[in-house]
Structure 1
Amino acid sequence: MPLGYDPNAPKQALNLLVNGDLLDRAVVMDLNLSAVLENAIAEAVARCHEGEQGLEENPGAVQDESLAQIDPNVLTAAIGIFGNATHAKKWLTTPARALGNKRPAEADVEEVMDLIGRIEHGFGA
């Protein structure tokens, strides 16, 4: 799979705020936060790019998926992560590598809720 970005591009300094408890846990685990963030961003960019390609191939896909068929707890959690129903619905109807390329709307509710929790805490892959 093409990366979709130049991995040899120069690094840039970044100032951001992170949940203090997560940061403490990451320090204890001796995580390379730069690498974790870079991987998370790369995954998000790839997911977004894949979703855009899917919509170009089948522009009615998101509109055709019925919200009534999606578990209400999954939908609520997805809206909480992605900010609104449109973005949540797009994510729910796009195949996810973390779910074996199944769409979250069609995957096991428990698996999807686990994935949402991992995304929420920055461990989506």
Structure 2
Amino acid sequence: MFTPSGLYTFSGSRRTRHRRPRPCEIYPPSRRLSRDGALRHMTAGSAWMSDEESDKGNIAPGQLADLAVLSQDYLSVHEVLIPETTSVLTLVGGKVVHAEAEHCALNPPVLPGYSPLAVGTDTL
């Protein structure tokens, strides 16, 4: 799911890790992904699915500079807190497209100027 903050939510990652098809049913550990594996599926795996693995999906020379700075360490935070992970800074093509918290000064201007985001209202 794509959120307004420009980051795919991590609730899907938690479901992938727990492999709970139904709330009371849990797959055995042998059928679950590690956090590294889930992260790889969300990054390099997504690039592979869109046939763009030569351009994105990894932090490497020649790859597009799309990345997100997360609100907490996805690899070490307690599993129940993974869905609360958000992006505090998102770059697409090397340019800031979303910034929160201490990074707010980096936010690009909201266009057009009459956008509800620019004028501070959620109505048109």
Structure-2-length-normalised TM-score? 0.24
Higher strand share: 2
Which structure: larger Rg?
Answer: 2
Structure-1-length-normalised TM-score? 0.23
Higher helix share: 1
